[in-house]
Amino acid sequence: MAYCGNCGTKLRGEKFCPNCGIMCGTNPREPMVKTTSKKVVEKSQWMSAVITVSVIVLAVVLILTLGSGSNKVVGQWEARNGYFESANVEFFRDGTFTLSSYGYSMESFSGKYFVRGNTLHMETPSYGTISVNFKRDGDTLIIGNDDGDTISFHKVQ
């Protein structure tokens, strides 16, 4: 004996349930005919492309703003310690920098820089390429050489 899948009425070979009218032998929770509109497929592909592009743009923005590469050092920094009476350095987003020191002698120079890992490479016409280790700790930029000498710069607000 067969029963209606929708309402449970006993069936005697009918094509449609005499109680609820649903077609016998079908699951009422599934559509009788499955169709996929071309517009629905195109829209879902378009949405998928928009989401993918958005994720890529977001990743690039996060990488650039959360301190990867040279952005770890971008800004204006000031040092006051035993090595210099005062030194100011500013790293710009375009990969250039200026440094001015006021101590035993007054010196100022500028050039290009880039960051690779924890190494800061500064290129100047007068000194060539200077490579130093660095570490950023909040608003402090600690620059050191292989001999263990360090200079702490504090971010200028």
Number of structural domains in the chain? 2
Whether 53 maps to a domain, the answer reads no
Q: Which pLDDT value is given to residue 67?
A: 44
Q: Are 99 and 110 in contact (CB under 8 A)?
A: yes
The helix (run of H) or strand (run of E) holding residue 61 is helix 38-65
79 and 143 share one domain = yes
Per-residue model confidence as pLDDT tens digits over 103-128:
656 678 889 999 988 888 889 888 88
Q: Are 133 and 122 in contact (CB under 8 A)?
A: no
φ, ψ dihedrals at 37, nearest 5° = -75, 140
Confidence of residue 94 (pLDDT cuts 50, 70, 90): very high
Whether 130 maps to a domain, the answer reads yes
Whether 41 maps to a domain, the answer reads no
142 and 82 share one domain = yes
Question: 106 is in which domain, residue-wise?
Answer: 72-155
Mean pLDDT, range 52-72, rounded to an integer: 59
78 and 30 share one domain = no
Whether 126 maps to a domain, the answer reads yes
Per-residue model confidence as pLDDT tens digits over 4-32:
878 888 888 888 888 888 887 655 555 54
12 and 76 share one domain = no
Mean pLDDT of the chain: 75
Q: In 10 A of CB 115, how many CB atoms?
A: 18
Q: Are 74 and 90 in contact (CB under 8 A)?
A: no
Q: Which pLDDT value is given to residue 63?
A: 45
Whether 98 maps to a domain, the answer reads yes
